[in-house]
Amino acid sequence: MNNNINLRGHDFQLIPFGSGRRGCPGMQLGLTTIQLVLAQLGHCFNWELPTGMQPQDLDMAENFGLSMSKAKHLLAKPTYRLM
């Protein structure tokens, strides 16, 4: 966030789709799909943390691996908001 790092393979700090001639040919479809799914989840639901938990209590530790996942799962409660 708040920087100009390009995720399409031009800046090696962040290469979720690889880079160069073997880079992911499905990049545009992947980006569009993720954006659509996230937008739907944000638009259709209100999201709450479990009772008593504050945003600053979230454990943002990461697992080491080929892709970076959270060490502890995020638990969030969705409530449908379009009725």
- Minimum distance of ligand HEM from residue 23's CB (angstroms): 5
How far is residue 25's CA from residue 52's CA, in Å, rounded to a whole number?
44
**H-helix or E-strand containing 31?**
helix 27-44
Q: What are phi and psi of 34, to 5 degrees?
A: -60, -45
How far is residue 31's CA from residue 43's CA, in Å, rounded to a whole number?
18
- Minimum distance of ligand HEM from residue 60's CB (angstroms): 20
- Minimum distance of ligand HEM from residue 7's CB (angstroms): 9
Of 13-21, 37-45, 49-57, 68-76, the window that binds ligand HEM (rule: CB under 6 A) is 13-21
Please report, as residue ranges, which positions from 15 to 74 form the binding site for ligand HEM (by CB under 6 A). Answer: 16-19, 22-26, 29-30, 34
